[in-house]
Structures are given as structure tokens and as C-alpha cells.
Amino acid sequence: MSSEHMLDADGWRAEAQAVIKDVKCSVKEIKISEVLPNSNQHIFLNITTLEMKSLCVELTGHGFRVVGRLYDNQQEHTGVYYETPYSLLNAESPMFCQSFGLQLQDKLQMLLERQEQK
């Protein structure tokens, strides 16, 4: 995601919903913050990893970054941006990588089985 990637507030919400859909099966919980101010420049996600670690993540045109270790909290600005939610979650949650990989494997197996049935 480039720094020139600008969306309106509804666009950021749609972007966040797409992220939620992509990773929700590999985290305990993920939702858009209803407390922190979302705008046309960013949106905040609250995530609980499979290890039960809480994260507050900011999504901007620069990418994804952890801004807090509690829901709706911006006390920790690491300055480290990740290009994708997958790279952020791989860094924060060892179980994410394993879970996400198993889900991909299951989907590939289903596709192979469909092909064999044809």
C-alpha cells in the first residue's frame, strides 16, 4: 500500500472489512474499533491473536502498524509499518502463520478434489 493511497472514511471501512474477512479464521477476534476516531486517513482494528495477545492496529496509506497492546489503545507507536496484515500477524503471532497455512492447504485440497470429480 503506498503512502498516496487515499480513501474516504467509507473506503477505509471497506478496506478494513476486506482485511477482517481475509484473516478472521486465523485470529481469535478482529473488529473495527468503535472507540478510536477513524477517518479518511486511517482506521483502527482491534485484534486478539490465537495466543490471546491483544493488539490495536492502525491501517493507513503506509500500511499496518501496531499502535497499542490493548484494544482501543494508541500508547505504543513502534513506527514499523507492514505492507500486509499477513506480515504484521506473522510477526506478532506464531500461531497465525500455522493456522493460515493450514487453511490454505485445506482450500487447495478442496480445489484438487473438485478437479478430480470433473
Convert the pLDDT of each residue in 21-53 to its tens digit: 999 989 999 999 999 999 889 999 999 999 999
Does pTM surpass 0.85? no
Domain chopping of the chain, boundaries: 9-117
Please give the Cα distance from 53 to 72 (Å, whole number): 14
Dump pLDDT digits (tens) for 62-111. 999 999 999 999 998 778 999 999 999 999 999 998 887 777 777 788 87
Q: Which CATH architecture has domain 9-117?
A: 2-Layer Sandwich (3.30)
Please give the Cα distance from 79 to 73 (Å, whole number): 15
pLDDT-based confidence at residue 6 (cuts at 50, 70, 90): low
Evaluate whether 85 touches 22 at the Cβ level (below 8 Å).
yes
